[in-house]
Chain A
Amino acid sequence: MNVILIAVIVLGAIGLVSALILFLAAKKFAVHEDERIGKVAEVLPQANCGGCGFPGCSGFAGACVKAADKGSLEGLLCPVGGQPVMEKVADILGMKAEASAPKVAVVRCNGTCESRPRIAEFDGAQSCRVQQMLGSGETACAYGCLGCGDCVAACQFDAIHMNPETGLPEVDEEKCTACGACSKACPRGVIEIRLKGLKNRRVVVLCNNKDKGAVTRKACSVGCIACQKCVKVCKFEAITVDANLAHIDAEKCKLCRKCEDECPQNAIHAFNFPPRKPKAEASAAEKPAAAAKPAVPAAEKPAVNEATVPAGSPTANVEPAKEQ
């Protein structure tokens, strides 16, 4: 009896003291948090990708609450959840969500193993950032994809993968949330977060090379040589050439695909367009370069090379470029 009593008293006393300590600690160290932050965080995707520019989803939620107190949610967007999630957030905070167009990651390099000869062999930790420290890396192009897959490792959504044949990453548009993690991970800034475009259709310069034309051409057969042809052909002033590199402004581009036909290097590609009608093929006799352009560039690569020998092949064009 005595033993049981002692046990009960001792354990009870320990329990009471502990409870007291816990109670005091809870009072003393209580963190007062705006309850709206928790509510907002609940509707966020909880991927903690940092695509919004804040450290994780709770950081973003805090920023939203702060912004709402100031009166506007402008400039805050969860790229993963997109518009629907922002509407929910706005509902919780009693605000109105602003519309924003969906975006997607675009790998601006088409320097496949065939088009961009390897001039050196990289040995070391398989990381683009490590290879970047060695100058231009395995190829002579100091701006293109390094092919070690830092972007793949950075993606939280399994939306970007290396294609072993081309040695380039490919974006799965269904899964891509445009969080920008891959873009930040790329030491060369090859990946652009770009407007998805009407019906997901986009026309993009698949090159990031800022060297002069002759240097680019030596390094890669499909690099932008800043010849300005696309700029001239564009009726909407959507294309600019800056630092030896053409860029198409997605907001101004009307998807006419004229630049794509014009580019002598096949650096401009159109995504998600239906296959061209036979009419276009008929005109191919006059403009061989404009012919069978594939909708998805990587898939039909060899065909393009054959079709464009007169205008786009490296051997045909290196000499005249030097003379210029």
Chain B
Amino acid sequence: MKPIISLSPHVHGGDSVQKNMYGVCIALIPALIASLYFFGLGSAIVLATSVAACVFFEWAITRFILGRERLTICDGSAVLTGLLLGFNLPSNLPIWIIIIGALVAIGIGKLTFGGLGCNPFNPALVGRVFLLISFPVQMTSWPLSGQMGYVDAETGATPLALMKLAIKEGDTSYLDQLPSAFDMLVGQTGGSLGEVSALCLLIGCCFMLWKKIITWHIPVSILATVFVLAGIFHLIDPSYANPVQVILSGGLMLGACFMATDYVTSPMTARGQLIYGCAIGVLTVLIRDFGSYPEGMSFAILIMNGFTPLINTYVKPKRFGEVKK
């Protein structure tokens, strides 16, 4: 017998990249079901295209452009990027636009930097923001929920657009058109595929917390900051929507639970994650209320992704036995 020798530890906890990635995918299932329920065929087509395109580009680029032998499509990261990208798109988006989005997300957002673990920005958001800026019309005509078809869906104003209008005009009557908080929680509103049901996203988030895939720091800090800041604005000027509706609207829940918590692009320490989460919350509210886009979550996350290395450099964990100076 030739014994195997190695340094300790000799046992491993059994955690793996796949487990984490597919864990997040599982956590997205409630939201996936909700999107199928509310958008039907359109949702299925968009999500399937997005996932398939992301996996294909991951395979093609690593294989033929980077010339790597080892396949990385099985680790689940491309599937996850595809799912998240799809969740950020409206259900009537033409297939060719989705494919461009997937190419940008995987090609530019991820593999340009060296693949899994090396990308400074969340790939799905890179793809989404690229599409948002390149195809503003298609990307912002949200079909109303409850329409099962893919093409020619009836579009309407999202809650976020109404909120923006209310602020611009200084007219609180727009806010009266907002769906009730309960409808927003369950999903009776228009918007991107993954945004409609805040409740399903929260269920997924709890699943990830239970499985210890993520920690509470980022989602809680984002939601708390947004709630407090939006609350202050609402108290000062009632033409700003009430904080509960702000939290339940748009991509905030999806961003806070699934996009901002992306391992690669978020800070490493608990303290760093709190700073990162609070900054995302502040930026989101500022962009939503004062920027030219109604939605601020994607931009806020991407901006803070850029700050993550800086946070990692300056925010260290509390060392054991650290003496207070």
- A interface vs B, CB < 8 Å? 118-124, 130, 133-134, 137-138
Are B4 and A123 in contact (CB-based, < 8 A)?
yes
Are A134 and B2 in contact (CB-based, < 8 A)?
no
Are A124 and B6 in contact (CB-based, < 8 A)?
yes
What's the least CB distance linking A211 to chain B, in Å? 19
Are B4 and A121 in contact (CB-based, < 8 A)?
yes
List the 8 closest pairs (A to B, CB-CB), nearest first: A124-B6, A123-B6, A120-B5, A121-B4, A134-B5, A123-B4, A120-B3, A121-B2
B11 within 8 A of A: no
Apart from the given pairs A119-B2, A122-B6, A134-B5, 6 other A-B contacts in the complex at a CB distance below 8 Å = A118-B2, A122-B4, A122-B5, A124-B7, A133-B7, A134-B7
- What is the total of A-B residue contacts with beta carbons within 8 Å? 25
Interface size on B, residues (CB 8 A): 6
With a CB–CB cut-off of 8 A, which chain B residues contact A120? 2-5
Q: Which residue on B lies nearest to A122, using beta carbons?
A: B5
With a CB–CB cut-off of 8 A, which chain A residues contact B4? 120-123
Q: Report the bound CA distance from A124 to B4 in whole Å.
A: 10
Q: Report the bound CA distance from A195 to B3 in whole Å.
A: 41
Are B3 and A121 in contact (CB-based, < 8 A)?
yes
In the assembled complex, 25 residue pairs joining A and B whose CB atoms fall closer than 8 Å, in A order, are A118-B2, A119-B2, A120-B2, A120-B3, A120-B4, A120-B5, A121-B2, A121-B3, A121-B4, A121-B5, A122-B4, A122-B5, A122-B6, A123-B4, A123-B5, A123-B6, A124-B6, A124-B7, A130-B7, A133-B7, A134-B5, A134-B6, A134-B7, A137-B5, A138-B5
With a CB–CB cut-off of 8 A, which chain B residues contact A134? 5-7
Q: Report the bound CA distance from A134 to B5 in whole Å.
A: 7
With a CB–CB cut-off of 8 A, which chain B residues contact A122? 4-6
What's the least CB distance linking A248 to chain B, in Å? 34
Q: Report the bound CA distance from A178 to B5 in whole Å.
A: 34
What's the least CB distance linking A147 to chain B, in Å? 14
Q: Report the bound CA distance from A123 to B6 in whole Å.
A: 5
What's the least CB distance linking B2 to chain A, in Å? 5
Question: For window 61-78 of chain B, which residues contact chain A by CB distance below 8 Å?
Answer: none
Q: Which residue on B lies nearest to A119, using beta carbons?
A: B2
With a CB–CB cut-off of 8 A, which chain A residues contact B3? 120-121
Q: Report the bound CA distance from A122 to B3 in whole Å.
A: 9
With a CB–CB cut-off of 8 A, which chain B residues contact A130? 7
What's the least CB distance linking A118 to chain B, in Å? 7
What's the least CB distance linking B9 to chain A, in Å? 11
Chain B, residues 1-33, CB within 8 Å of chain A (1/0): the string is 011111100000000000000000000000000
